[in-house]
Structure 1
């Protein structure tokens, strides 16, 4: 009976995380962690480690699908990734020096609000208008925004995928599919770094839960990425918005339960 319950919980956790990753470049940790903690009574540190490792393959397969459809900016993605990883460490260090604040729900509220934003004010930027920005300006923007995202993620400990999507679409003026493709490309590396450090410090988690979460998240991320790349911009905005709103509400409920 326990194994059946584990399969059910990990299936829905993987489905929510996979859809969020494939459609919006959202971190799997926002969905998987609260579900494992609430319904399987898992240690929060281990739950985050499992979520991050699930994010690695899910983000990688999503990035592959977006890249195959020419919806991925690798050059500026690498530049931003270096900035994000560097300043995540800086933000984490600064966070350890100041009194802790209750910021745990930051990424959940951000997910919910970003979902509403995509429904009410969809991103209709085209690739043509994206290409009007000079290469030098784009590089500078990528570095500055990577520093901002990394520092905030390190300081607060959450919200990386959502912050990246918001900044790529609203500040850097990316077309939605390219923004998601670039976001999941970066997240694959940041999630791997986070997962490796978690397991190096905390040891190997429950293998059954770990494998099930990785498999289910991978499957649903691929399904979402394939659909997203075939959908029109208007449909993708609406689908992304609805999924983010639903996931935001569900995760908030899980947080209350726990």
Structure 2
């Protein structure tokens, strides 16, 4: 932490707090946290990504525990989904070293627009749990979702929590609150999977990561408690706001890539 100004550390703390809150409610906190880390003097993009994952592990662990205590998500669905997602995240992180993220950004942007359109058109979707499948088909679909989104998290990352929530709501029929509870468990696994690849390479800035993790934990605790108390309607509103922000961010990135 030597040479880092106090104002920069305070910025990282505030960003971690806000990111933890957003991640706990609906996912997408990386939009706040990662840009703040990139403002740290001398930090490389890969160090920012690795340190971001470390902070996120603390936040998602806190919100996962809080949700589990208050919402009691179905672990028979969440655990296999999380294991599949964590393993897929390691694979995605490995592929990320070979392919530029710009190749995938237009695809992800299109997917987010579809997600937003679905959420706005289906106003009652996610307000109550009404499972679409049962038995093996239910668990198989959950694992496939985990593999696909886990791989994406390791490969690119932004919006992973939001993708998990909308997949759980639209494909499996969970409410936004139940979907968020399971998404935190799965997202914790993907963060651990990606961090397992980054940590041995020496890219994690441990001091900064611990500070970020502490603020992320506080935000995750506050966000998950608020989501539980406010219910699925509140989570749906925050979800729409975060997805719009993701669309604007990725849209800006795509335009920049095209004009270079």
TM surpasses 0.5: yes
After superposition, the Cα gap between the structure-2 partners of 1:150 and 1:120, relative to the gap in structure 1 and judged at 3 Å, is same
Q: Give the deviation of 1:196 after TM superposition.
A: 3.2
Deviation at 1:36, TM superposition (A): 1.3
State the distance in 2 between where 1:79 and 1:148 align. 14
1:222 matched to which residue of 2?
221
Q: Paired residue for 2:165?
A: 165
Report the equivalent of 1:232.
231
Residue-by-residue CA offset, 1:172-211 (whole Å, 9 max, x unaligned): 111111111111111112212322321210255161x222
* 2:7 paired residue number: 5
Aligned to 2:137: 137
Residues in 2 aligned to 1:179 and 1:96: alpha-carbon distance in whole angstroms: 31
- Kept in 1: contact 2:127–2:232 (CA 8 A): no
* 1:108-257 equivalence runs, <5 A: 109=109, 113=113, 118=119, 121-122=122-123, 123-127=125-129, 129-130=130-131, 133-156=133-156, 159-205=159-205, 207=207, 209-246=208-245, 249=248
Is the alpha carbon distance of 1:181 and 1:101 closer, same or farther for their aligned partners in structure 2, counting shifts above 3 Å?
Answer: closer
1:19 aligns with 2:44: no
Q: Is the 8 A contact 1:111 1:244 kept in 2?
A: no
CA distance in 1, matches of 2:118, 2:17: 23
1:53-92 equivalences under 5 Å are 53-91=54-92
TM-score, reference length from structure 2: 0.79
C-alpha contact (below 8 Å) 2:63/2:184 kept by paired residues: yes
* Whole-Å separation in 2 of the counterparts to 1:163 and 1:173: 14
Q: Distance in 1 between matches of 2:58 and 2:227?
A: 18
SS of the equivalent of 2:191 reads helix
Point out where structure 2 has 5 or more consecutive residues left out of the alignment: none
Q: 1:189 to 1:10 in 2, by over 3 A?
A: same
Q: Is the 8 A contact 1:38 1:254 kept in 2?
A: no
Secondary structure of the residue aligned to 2:133 is coil
Q: Deviations 1:203-244 (Å, cap 9, x if unpaired)?
A: 55161x222211111111111110000003223311332345
RMSD: 3.4
What does 1:36-51 correspond to in 2, within 5 Å? 36-38=37-39, 40-51=41-52
Query: Number of aligned pairs?
Result: 251
